[in-house]
Amino acid sequence: MIWLFMFSIIFVSVGVIAYPLFWTKSQKYTINYSSTEKLTQKSFWLSALSDLEDDFTLGRINKDDFQKQKLILQRRYLESIKITTNAID
pLDDT digits (tens, 9 = 90+) for 4-33: 888 899 988 988 887 777 665 555 555 555
Residue 55, classified by CB atoms within 10 Å of its CB into exposed (0-12), middle (13-18) or buried (19+), is: middle
Q: State the pTM of this model.
A: 0.53
Per DSSP, the residues of the chain read -HHHHHHHHHHHHHHHHHHHHHHSPPPPP---HHHHHHHHHHHHHHHHHHHHHHHHHHTSS-HHHHHHHHHHHHHHHHHHHHHHHHHH-
Q: Domain boundaries in the chain?
A: 2-88
Number of C-alpha atoms within 13 angstroms, CB side, residue 17? 6
